[in-house]
């Protein structure tokens, strides 16, 4: 049973490598899927710090797989092009024009910039999208959401092949996926990260976002939740907007065998390390 205590001392609480070693050993040789998104992606310093942390995880013998979003960047590009954007239930309505822009931004600039940041930090990152080698095949989510998709199947053989070719490779995955007829579908990055975590048998799924974690009705951070708690937050309306697909992803990932899911503030310095290598953790743990 995973436990955590509330503590705000952060990464500094692991004062020596010997104190962090049991936590490092817990994840050595295991896969950790990390969704990187939100406004942190638009901050060069935060992206650089994230890349350094990912490379450190790799050096500790952990297998990080990165899935990135890019909602603010897509919104910015749509505004520049004069294309109106609409959301329903925290998901972007994607007509053909919108989904083509989403692919250009996500699988193009954002993916390659993140790959470059990890490589600059000393890693060996490889950029992919859900469309590559059938990694994620999707279907339309709902008619009123246009080309917004949800994963229908996954084929992680391309990730296995990369690991076999060179265990040092770090996959960086754009969530843009293909439908059964080859059409472009815009899959929510949290959802894409969740299905990949399940398919890879990940020990941990980490969803980096723009808030501390899951909040109660009074705006207080909930540090630990059970699946039953998550369902209640959704049913009673406490969870709103973009938090709804995140919590749905957490439940699906747990049901697929992922040991634990964490919703964490991507703007927090070394939040990944605090979560994995200290006993107090960071954000909200769902286990």
Tens-place pLDDT, residues 162-179: 999 999 999 999 999 999
Per-residue model confidence as pLDDT tens digits over 3-39: 454 444 344 444 466 677 777 888 999 999 999 987 7
Query: What is the CATH number that goes with domain 10-286?
Result: 3.40.1160.10
Please list, in sequence order, all residues whose beta carbon lies within 8 angstroms of the beta carbon of residue 75, skipping any fewer than 6 positions away.
85
Residue 278 CA to residue 285 CA, distance in Å, equals 13
* Mean per-residue pLDDT over the chain, rounded: 89
Per-residue model confidence as pLDDT tens digits over 199-214: 999 999 999 988 889 9
> Per-residue confidence at 277, pLDDT binned at 50, 70, 90?
confident
Residue 204 CA to residue 264 CA, distance in Å, equals 12
pLDDT at 10: 43
Q: How far is CA 180 from CA 99, 122, 131, 204, 234, in A?
A: 16, 37, 11, 29, 31
Residue 52 has pLDDT above 50, yes or no: yes
Query: How many percent of the chain have pLDDT more than 90?
Result: 68
Mean pLDDT of 80-94: 84
Residue 273 CA to residue 19 CA, distance in Å, equals 13
Hey, where are the domains in the chain?
10-286
Mean pLDDT of 97-117: 95
pLDDT at 38: 75
């Amino acid at each position: 049973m995973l436990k955590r205590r509330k503590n705000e001392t952060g990464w500094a609480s692991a004062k020596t490598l010997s104190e962090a070693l049991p936590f490092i050993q817990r994840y050595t040789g295991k896969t950790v899927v990390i969704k990187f998104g939100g406004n942190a992606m638009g901050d060069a310093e935060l992206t650089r710090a994230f890349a350094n942390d990912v490379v450190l995880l790799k050096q500790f013998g952990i297998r990080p797989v990165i899935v990135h979003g890019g909602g603010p960047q897509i919104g910015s590009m749509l505004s520049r092009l004069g294309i109106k954007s609409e959301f329903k239930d925290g998901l972007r309505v994607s007509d053909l024009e919108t989904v083509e822009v989403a692919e250009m931004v996500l699988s193009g600039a954002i993916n390659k910039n993140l790959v470059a940041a990890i490589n600059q930090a000393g890693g060996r990152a490889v950029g992919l999208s859900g469309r590559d080698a059938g990694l994620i095949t999707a279907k339309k989510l709902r008619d009123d959401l246009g080309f917004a998709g949800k994963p229908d199947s996954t084929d992680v053989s391309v990730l296995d092949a990369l690991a076999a070719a060179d265990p040092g490779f770090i996959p960086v995955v754009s969530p843009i996926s293909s439908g059964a007829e080859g059409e472009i579908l815009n899959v929510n990055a949290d959802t894409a990260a969740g299905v990949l975590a399940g398919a890879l048998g990940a020990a941990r799924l980490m969803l980096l976002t723009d808030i501390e974690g899951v909040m109660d009705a009074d705006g207080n951070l909930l540090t630990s939740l059970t699946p039953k708690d998550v369902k209640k937050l959704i049913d009673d309306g406490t969870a709103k907007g973009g938090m709804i697909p995140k919590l749905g992803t957490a439940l699906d990932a747990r049901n697929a065998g992922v040991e634990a899911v964490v919703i964490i503030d991507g703007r927090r310095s070394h939040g990944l390390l605090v979560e994995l290598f200290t006993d107090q953790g960071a954000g909200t743990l769902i286990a």
